[in-house]
Structure 1
Amino acid sequence: MDTNDGVELTILMPCLNEAETLATCIDKATGYLARSGVVGEVLIADNGSTDGSQQIARDHGARVADIPVKGYGAALIGGMESARGTYVIMGDADDSYDFENLDPFVERLRAGDDLVMGNRFRGGIEPGAMPPLHKYLGNPVLTWIGRSLFRSPIKDFHCGLRGYNRASMLNLELKTTGMEFASEMVVKSTLAGLQVSEVPTTLRKDGRSRPPHLRSWRDGWRHLRFLLIFSPRWLFLVPGLLALGIGVLGSLLLLLGPTTIGGVGFDVASQVYLAALAIVGYQAVLFAIMTKLYAEREGFRLPRSRSFSWFAQRATLETFSLGGAGLFLIGLVVLIIQIVGWGQSGFGALDPQATIRVAIPGSLFMVLGAQTIMTGMFIGILTIPTRS
């Protein structure tokens, strides 16, 4: 097999002050290479350790790549770039993952899979190895969201032990530097149509005396935020369009007077809430648009349809400002007509229900217009040319 320097497999471990467990992990990994006959190396992507981890790694036969950019993802991206193997198997250096049994990963990689994920729920989780919050809430919920939004086959989105074809992963241009890197790898692989599979693996209680680097709520939110950025269509655009359509059509229908649907009467109060629904829906649509434009600007390479490509070429400050001004003008005309009518009646008392019935759609169009103009301004900021 044609590999860099004849190396088929790189066993990659990110490291930040892992002196307690690093030697054990390296010894297990080198033991696996010796037992299996796989031509490989152990690579430590050090993220600025101050406890002597670098020297421990060298003393135990590992190669060290110094990664100056801080973060879990940054360490793994730097390690990926420094790896010499055709395949890479990555895992934490805290002695929680089984580096002595990597055969299932190697078999799938040799069979042509681009990404092979470990599944701790299938392989077994040692008591105390995973906090209950992660085991019963965090991992299942985030995995369900990822599977639902991206149709991914992976059932353990955040397993830290995973293998991949180095060339395939480099082509994805992974970018996130924090813990959300774990989600980015799975999502981008799925969206790119790479061959993704899963094998059982075990998780043991880590061997460190200090708390882990992972922060449950902070890092959980970072994973969720990343998934939301990558799924604006089904999470925001489609529900937003539905809410906008119902809100606008309902408000205009009630402009003609009270109506009854299925024995339920709707009047001015319903019109107020329908207008609010339209505003929320429109905001969701605008958010989906801005999210997708931002993600593409930052190089996340979301799947892009022809219709969105056509729209993105025309999504400028000028077009949004003109469209927003048109919507605002419609509402302003309604306002002027009402003021003129009020003046013709001597600025006296008006029929509250009749007045509000007309004012609601007018106000709605003014709000939608203002939202559109401000979105155009933000898009203008996003599209300012900058140096990388």
Structure 2
Amino acid sequence: MPCLNEAETLAVCIDKANGYLERSGVIGEVVIADNGSTDGSQDIARAHGARVVDISAKGYGNALMGGIEASVGRFVIMGDADDSYDFSKLDPFVERLRAGDQLVMGNRFRGGIAEGAMPPLHKYLGNPVLSWIGRLLFRSPIKDFHCGLRGFDRQSILDLHLQTTGMEFASEVVVKATLGGLRVSEVPTTLDKDGRSRAPHLRSWRDGWRHLRFLLIFSPRWLFLIPGLSAFFVGLLGSLILSIGPVVVGSIGFDQSSQIFLSALAIVGYQAVIFAVLTKIYAQHEGFRIPKSRNFEWLERRFSLESAALAGLLLFLVGLAVAIVQFVLWVQTGFGSLDGATILRLSVPAALLMSLGAQTIMAGLFLGVLNVGLRRR
């Protein structure tokens, strides 16, 4: 149990957990991961038979990881120390863990939420929306991403190398367990109104944004790759079409200014695609358990410093060739005035190709940096 000034409810939580261990015959202990309590929570925990582990690094994620690392059992069941979860009813979690599941999540929407136990903002918007996004981005079977009561195989979770320090730790566990191929399941659990007189540590908008930010950043395909590809192809095709001449769709006309903005869209989209690819390669390089697709494996085999430099150089040279032709035409006029519309139609795609080529070369150089062999501690 992570703990930060939980003197009002800590004793009853520990007693329920010890009562479950005694009744069920499960050999275990209660570990309190204390995150700097100043209300005597540590003494209360020891008086009720729990082992206290002092975690100096602040944050929900830090407290939980410290407690998990200090635990000695094969299985760990974690839950908040505010008496909102009933530690005397852990049989469903233990049964699924003994059956081979490596992460067992509680589902409060299936088990029941007591009146006043969850703010309406969390119940009808925050939790359902964030859980839906998690299922969509990572194909997770979990429908309650943020339930504070969950059990897991300790070593399996340690092998995920969890990194977040705050409330987004709850999402990281589910996401990395899913991506890592762990056996994941849900069991119904209840949520009661907590027994504290003070306000909870959770901050709705701040912590909700941290969860959403983690989900998006950890899924570069949806945040960068797909939007980037869409923007790149729309911008590139639109710019090339307008290099031939103006286009009228219904009562709307597109000409040079549209071509300039479409070229900018193509550049931004291409940068997003490169970022998505390099992010995934970096994640693989650092040992994150992110499953590869066939398309990505094909791309990874062919995307190297040399191949990127060659492709980028070709793009740059094509754009440069168009620019040189335009310069020659300008010289032939004695550096006089040229037809602005015609010149602009060709200048924009030339600049676009040169920019894309330069970006590709720099992406290849960065990939070369990633692939430099280092001896790590």
TM range (shorter): 0.7 to 0.9
**1:374/1:220 CA distance change after superposition, 3 Å:** farther
CA–CA distance in 2 between the matches of 1:338 and 1:128?
A: 72
Match of 1:67 in 2: 55
Q: Which residue of 2 aligns with 1:120?
A: 108
Residue 272 of structure 1 aligns to a residue in which SS? Answer: helix
Change in 2 beyond 3 A, CA 1:30/1:94: same
1:194 aligns with 2:182: yes
Could you say what secondary structure the match of 1:224 adopts? helix
Question: Which of the residues 215, 240, 255 maps onto 2:243?
Answer: 255
CA offsets 1:42-61 (integer angstroms, 9 cap, x no match): 11122233333222111100
Greater CA deviation, 259-268 or 319-328?
A: 259-268
Deviates further, 57-66 or 377-386:
377-386
Partner SS state of residue 175, structure 1: coil
Alignment of 1:334-349 (within 5 A): 334-349=322-337
Q: CA deviation at 1:284?
A: 1.6
C-alpha distance after superposition, 1:118-144 (max 9, x if no partner):
112222223332233322322122111
* Gap runs ≥5 in structure 1: 1-12
Q: 1:264/1:341 Cα in 2 relative to 1: closer, same or farther (>3 Å)?
A: same
Q: Say which SS state the counterpart of residue 117 (structure 1) adopts.
A: strand
Of the three residues 136, 139, 144, the one matched with 1:156 is: 144
- Structure 1 counterpart SS, 2:29: strand
Shift of 1:41: 1.5
Q: Report the equivalent of 2:266.
A: 278
Q: Deviations over 1:300-350 (max 9, x none)?
A: 321124554565577666665555454344333333332332232233333
Contact preservation (8 Å) 2:305, 2:364: yes
Q: Quote the residue 1:9 is aligned against.
A: none
Task: Find the aligned partners of 2:351 and 2:129 in 1 and give their Cα distance.
Answer: 40
Counterpart residue number, 1:288? 276
Aligned ranges 1:29-44 → 2 under 5 Å: 29-44=17-32
Secondary structure (helix, strand or coil) at the match of 2:345 reads helix
Is 1:166 paired with 2:154? yes
State how far apart, in whole Å, the 1-side matches of 2:332 and 2:68 are.
Answer: 76
Aligned length: 376
Corresponding position of 1:19? 7
In structure 1, the partner of 2:128 is 140
Aligned to 2:170: 182
2:84 to 77, 86, 96: 96
Letter in 2 for 1:95: D
- In terms of mean alpha carbon deviation, does 305-314 or 180-189 score higher? 305-314
Q: How does 1:44-83 map to 2 (within 5 A)?
A: 44-83=32-71
SS in 2 for 1:41: coil
Q: CA deviation at 1:376?
A: 4.8
Q: Verify: 1:368 aligned to 2:339, yes or no.
A: no
Contact 1:26 1:57 in 2 (8 A): yes
Structure 2: gaps (5+ residues): none
Task: Give the alignment of 1:209-220 within 5 angstroms.
Answer: 209-220=197-208
2:341 match: secondary structure: helix
Decide which moves more: 343-352 or 322-331: 322-331
For the residues of structure 1 that align with 2:301 and 2:284, how far apart are their CA atoms? 13
Q: Summarize deviations over 1:208-261 as a string: whole Å, max 9, x none.
A: 333322233332232222222332224322332233223223322332234567
Name the TM-score, length of structure 1 as normaliser.
0.85
The alpha-carbon distance between structure 1 residues 290 and 209, as it changes in their structure 2 partners (threshold 3 A), is farther
Which digits, 9 at most, give the CA deviation of each residue in 1:71-97, with x for residues without a partner? 222222222222232222110112222
Contact 2:228 2:272 in 1 (8 A): yes
TM-score by length of 2: 0.87
Amino acid across the alignment from 1:206 = D
RMSD, aligned CA: 2.8
Q: Distance in 1 between matches of 2:41 and 2:287?
A: 34
Determine which of 325, 328, 338 is the counterpart of 1:350. 338
Q: Which amino acid aligns with 1:190?
A: T
